[in-house]
Amino acid sequence: MGAGGALVLTHRFGLDSDPYLGDHMIDGKPVLPAAAATEWVAQVVGQGWPGWQVAEVQELRTLAGVVLEAGATREIEIRAKATSHSGPGEQTVTVDIADPTRKAPLYRASVRLVEHLEAPVVDVPQPIEGLRMDPHQTYERMLFHTGRFRLLTEIAAVAPAGVDAMVSPSSLPDWIDAEGEWLFDPGLIDVAAQLAWIWGRTHKQQSALPSRFGRVLRVPGLPKPQGPLSLRFRVKPADHDQSLRYDAVFVDEEGRVRLAMLDAESTLSAALNRIGSERI
């Protein structure tokens, strides 16, 4: 703990300590996905403020990202500090994932903590009809994700309104050498971003990388899902042509919400179409 109650954690990213990065490479370089940054932020705050419950990650923004040179490692600092404007029974912690050398933030977010965690109220979108796609062929021909990030089991409908898919949850011990459970499954979060990529390529002829997650909501008290989840990805009006805004709601076979991403945003870019061979 530093001055003023700030918490600072130093971590060195590399393929030995973070092997999942080898499955998320762009132009031959491992890149920390925004989904994993979300979980890092949540875990640090959850450990740093015992007695409080992590309810949601808010306004996570990709500023520069964490990119590793081939075969190299990269040290970062995660800096967290509670704000002074929290309401009764809750508090907000601001977090930066930063480059300690340049003192420049790479990701920035807020984490809302509560004394008593309750299930959020989230509307589940109705199913849609659209283009059915084969997940294996889509990963091979359109996406850059491999290994641990290939969690799509079905792409049932791709339509102007969004995407309906089935997705398998990920397991923490499969990603890093640690035990325990996720607060926010980064595999699931990343699949939502993958659907943004698929939707952008299909309907805008551009690829899309995540730039902001408005709200990522934690759902407490449910056992770990035993089978695939239904993912309802719905496009929202955007502020400009290069922005793809969406909500993504994960629902189990009993109709219960397991995870929700509200007001997320990816940035569309035709230059990223070089990743993956298919042109749609």
Per-residue pLDDT of 98-114, as tens digits, reads 999 888 899 999 999 99
CB atoms within 10 A of CB 57: 27
Across 251-268, b (16+ Cβ under 10 Å) vs e yields bbeeeebbbbbbebbbbb
Buried b (16+ CB within 10 A) or exposed e, 190-205: bbbbbbbbbbbbbeee
Q: How far is CA 198 from CA 20, 27, 57, 193, in A?
A: 21, 19, 24, 9
Give residue 221's region: left, alpha or beta (phi > 0; psi -120 to 50): left
Contacts with 246 (C-beta within 8 Å, 6 or more apart), sequence order: 162, 192, 195, 196, 199, 233, 234, 235, 236, 261, 264, 265, 266
Round to whole Å and give the CA distance between 278 and 201: 9
At residue 279, the pLDDT reads 42
Termini Cα distance of the chain: 51
pLDDT tens, position by position, 105-151: 999 999 999 999 999 999 999 999 999 999 999 999 999 999 999 99
In the block, residue with structure tokens 């994700």: 145
**pLDDT for res 88:** 82
pLDDT digits over 164-210, tens only? 999 999 999 999 988 888 999 999 999 999 999 999 999 999 999 99
Q: Which amino acid appears at position 58 of this protein?
A: Q
Residues 154-167, buried b or exposed e (16+ Cβ, 10 A)?
A: bbbbbbebbbbbbb
Q: Which two tokens stand for residue 173?
A: 């011990």
Query: Mind listing the pLDDT tens digit for each residue in 28-82?
Result: 999 999 999 999 999 999 999 998 999 999 999 999 999 999 889 999 999 999 9
| Amino acid 83: pLDDT | 84
Q: Which stretch of DSSP H or E encloses residue 10?
A: strand 7-13
If you average pLDDT over residues 206-215, what whole number do you get? 97
Please state, in angstroms and rounded to a whole number, the distance separating the CA atoms of residues 66 and 74.
Answer: 8
Say if residue 118 is exposed, middle or buried (CB neighbours under 10 Å; 0-12, 13-18, 19+).
exposed
14 Cβ partners below 8 Å, 6+ apart? 21, 68, 72, 73, 74
